[in-house]
Copies of this chain bind each other. A is one copy, B any other.
Amino acid sequence: MIISTKGRYGLRAVFELAKAHGQGTMSIKSIAEMQDLSEQYLEQIFSKLKGAGLLVSTRGAGGGYKLAFDPKDIAVGKVLTVLEGELAPAECVGDDAAQCDNVALCTTHVIWQRIYDGFNDVIYSITLADMVDDYQKMLSSKPQAKDVRC
C-alpha cells in the first residue's frame, strides 16, 4: 500500500472542504463525522495542511477550516505530498535528484525516474475541482454507496 492513511483520509477530508467551498468554514468534528474518521487524527492531518498553507482556520465557536485557495487551484498531488512527504520511489529521484551522480551507470535510475514522473503527472493533473465535478456526475447517475475503504 503506497499511500498511508494520512494521505487517504486527508484527501477525503479536504474533498469535503472543496465541496463546500465558498460557504464558510467547516469544523473538524463535522468532517470527521461525514467521512467517518477520528477527530483527533484528523486534527493532526489538518494541522499539517494548514502549516503548508493549504487551509486556513478560524477559532472559537462557529469556527473551523476552509480551503486557502479555490479548489481548481489545488492539485491532489499537493495535498498528498504535504501529508506523505515526497512521493519518490528511491532517494535518487525527486527534488534532491541532483545528488545522484550515478545516472551514468545505475541502470535502475531510469526506472525510478519514470515511476516518479508518471506518478507526479497523475496526481498533479487532478485538482480538487475535478474531484467535485466527478462527484456531481456520479451523484446524478449512481446510487449512494456505504462503506469506504480508502
Contact = CB atoms under 8 A, between A and B. Distances in A.
A111 to B, nearest CB: 6
Contacts of A55: none
Q: Assembly of this chain: how many copies?
A: 2
A74 to B, nearest CB: 14
Nearest to A76: B111
Contact of A148 (B3, B106, B138): B106
A62 B148 CA distance: 54
A47 B150 CA distance: 32
Interface of A: 1-3, 8, 11-12, 15, 76, 87-92, 100-102, 104-112, 114-115, 118-119, 121-123, 126, 131-132, 134-135, 138-139, 142-150
